[in-house]
Structure formats: structure tokens, C-alpha cells
Amino acid sequence: MELAIRDLSKRYGNGVQALDRVSLTIGPGMFGLLGPNGAGKSTLMRTLATLQEADGGSAMLDDIDVLRDKQRVRRLLGYLPQEFGVYPKVSAQDMLDHFARLKGIANGRERKAVVDALLERTNLAAVRKQKLGGFSGGMRQRFGIAQALIGNPKLVIVDEPTAGLDPEERVRFHNLLADIGRDVIVILSTHIVDDVADLCPRFAVINKGRVLLEGEPGAAVASLAGRMWRRVVERDELAALQSSMPVVSSRLQAGRTVVRVYAESSPGPDFEPVATELEDVYFTAVGGHLAPARATAAA
């Protein structure tokens, strides 16, 4: 199965161009969609999930027109939005049973088997009778994936699924997503670069509604080899440095400000070359430092 998105566009009534001729080809497995808040990721996810209309372009899931044949798409879709509500006084087991009914699983025995299997798969079987209002953030997210997997979907969309999770729950959720991604198309929309680096064999960077970069993480990192430089600076030096050269990122490390700069050769004294990371690729693309030819080479 393949999802082919071509020239997808969306402009909101306030004039914001949320999607600007977005084109992507996504096959089975995990696909990461990276971008800052407001980049257009959620608009794209909601459009693919048949929850809002596009102004133009197309999206085809094999021979299914995603923009026009919404009912057919929904039968093959699992969706975990960034924000989703639950009935706090209903147990996980009963809520999944309800969702299974809505998905058209009318037979009670079949429905119970589906619910039991999903609770086991998401490691929620031990708390099946616990009310959802008492779930931790990680448990809620695993419940969200469980409901998204009802009906054996062929396309699974998850929007910012690990935001706010503690490290242990994040690892558990990563393992769950990796297991799901073996058989179906899974689109992981996030601003957390490590999630994509850990999980996705292919990814894209989107900002201001445009795809800036698409490819394999390893190839994208390799395309910047020899072009990333590091230096420790005083805090009062940072603004001047940012105005004089392409500073990709800056962060505090042990109380000192460390900057990473994109340059073809050493940008100055006291800079040292550093190994490129996927985060460098992301910040370089979003910051506008990555030339179009360089972005194409990384794809």
C-alpha cells in the first residue's frame, strides 16, 4: 500500500497558508513528519484523516481518493490526534468495546477478542477495568493507540504522541509504534527529532506549509558531513554571532552556551568540527540555511 500526496494546499480564512503544494510519497513502515509548532503538520494529518477539506491537490491511498471517498478511507484508518478526550468514569475495557461497536464489530464474542488482544498489545490488560480518568499520560497514549488499531487499519496517523511523556513511557511507546509499523503505513507527526531518529527509516521536514526536505535520516545527516562547527561562547556574544553567521542551534551545557554553525569551511577561530546529527539537519532546514540543491540531495 502507498499514500501519494500531490500539491495539497490549504489556506484558512484568516489568510494563513497552512499547506502550500505539499507532495509526499509514503510507503509501508514508519514515516516521520518533523516541523515546529504551526508548521502545518496537524493540518496535513487532519486532512488525511478526513476531518477537514483541502483547497486543492490530491491524496491517493492506492486506488482510494482520500479527499473524496472519506467513508472508504475511514474503514482503513487509525488516528491518534494530539488532543483526544476520554470519558473519565468509563473503564478502558468498556471504552474500547464501545469504539469497536462504532467500527462495525457487531458480534460480541469477536468484539471481546479484539478488545482483549488490543489491551494485551498495548500493555493495558492489567488495568482493563480501571477508569480512564485515573490513567497516567503514557497510559492514555497507549489507550489512544489501542482505539486507533481497532479494525486492523492500513494507515495509522499519530500526532505528537510522545509530548509530555516521561522517559520510561516514551521508550515503551516507541516500542509499540515500531511494532505497529512493521505491517502498515504509520505517519508520526512530531517536533521531537529523537522520535524520528529512533523510529523512522524515512522522514520529511515541513515548515510554513512547505516540505523543505524528504529522505532517509542517515542520508540527510551524511549530506551535512563536514559542514557543522561547534564553539562555546559567552552569553553576550550570542546575538552578534547569530547576526554574522548561520547559527543552527544554541544551548546551555554545564552553564555554558554552546553554538552549532553551518558552514562549508571553518567559520572562525575557536570553532571545531563536530559530527552531524539529525537535529542539525532539522534546524538547518527550518532555519533556511539548507540550499534547495542540498535538500534534494538529502532526499
- 124, 143 contact by CB (below 8 A): yes
Residues 159 and 268 both lie in one domain: no
Q: What is the mean pLDDT of the chain?
A: 90
Please state, in angstroms and rounded to a whole number, the distance separating the CA atoms of residues 200 and 181. 9
> What digits encode the pLDDT tens for the residues 116-165?
999 998 989 999 999 999 998 888 889 999 999 998 899 999 988 887 77
Cell of 252: 546551555
pLDDT above 70: percentage of residues in the chain: 97
Residues 185 and 228 both lie in one domain: no
Contacts 24+ apart (CB under 8 A), 93-98: 93/119, 93/128, 93/129, 95/132, 95/143, 95/147, 96/143, 96/146, 96/147, 96/150
Q: What is the pLDDT of residue 288?
A: 86
Please state, in angstroms and rounded to a whole number, the distance separating the CA atoms of residues 186 and 180. 8
Q: What is the pLDDT of residue 53?
A: 95
- 212, 255 contact by CB (below 8 A): no
Cell of 86: 476520554
Residues 199 and 234 both lie in one domain: no
Residues 262 and 166 both lie in one domain: no
> What digits encode the pLDDT tens for the residues 191-203?
889 999 989 999 9
Last residue of a domain, one of 193, 215, 237: 215
CATH number assigned to the domain comprising residue 81: 3.40.50.300
Confidence of residue 299 (pLDDT cuts 50, 70, 90): very low
Cell of 116: 482483549
Q: Write out the residue range of the structural domain in which residue 40 sits.
A: 3-215
Last residue of a domain, one of 165, 188, 215: 215
Task: Decide: helix, strand or coil at residue 35.
Answer: coil
Last residue of a domain, one of 155, 186, 215: 215
Q: What is the pLDDT of residue 107?
A: 94
- 183, 260 contact by CB (below 8 A): no
Residue 85 CB: number of other CB atoms within 10 A?
A: 7
Q: What is the mean pLDDT of residues 90-107?
A: 93
Residues 65 and 192 both lie in one domain: yes
Task: Decide: helix, strand or coil at residue 190.
Answer: strand
Q: What is the pLDDT of residue 170?
A: 84
Q: What is the mean pLDDT of residues 168-186?
A: 85
Please state, in angstroms and rounded to a whole number, the distance separating the CA atoms of residues 114 and 93. 11
Task: Decide: helix, strand or coil at residue 256.
Answer: strand
Helix runs in the chain, H state only: 41-48, 70-75, 92-102, 108-121, 137-148, 167-180, 193-199, 217-223, 238-244, 278-286, 292-298
Q: What is the mean pLDDT of residues 88-108?
A: 93
Residues 91 and 134 both lie in one domain: yes
Residues 209 and 287 both lie in one domain: no
pLDDT above 80: residue 292: no
Residues 183 and 271 both lie in one domain: no
Residues 42 and 186 both lie in one domain: yes
Q: What is the mean pLDDT of residues 238-244?
A: 90
Residues 196 and 230 both lie in one domain: no
Residues 244 and 195 both lie in one domain: no
DSSP code at position 131: B
pTM score, whole prediction: 0.87
Residues 205 and 64 both lie in one domain: yes
Q: What is the pLDDT of residue 37?
A: 87
Q: What is the pLDDT of residue 291?
A: 55
With cell 551535512, the residue in question is 224
| Helices 137-148, 167-180: crossing angle, 10 deg rounding | 10
> What digits encode the pLDDT tens for the residues 48-97?
999 999 999 999 999 999 999 999 999 999 999 877 777 899 999 999 99
Cα-based torsion angle of the residue sequence 202, 185, 210, 208 in order, rounded to the nearest 10 degrees: -100
Exposure of 253 by Cβ count < 10 A (0-12 exposed, 13-18 middle, 19+ buried)? exposed
pLDDT above 70: residue 39: yes
- 260, 287 contact by CB (below 8 A): no
- Count of the separate structural domains present in the chain: 2
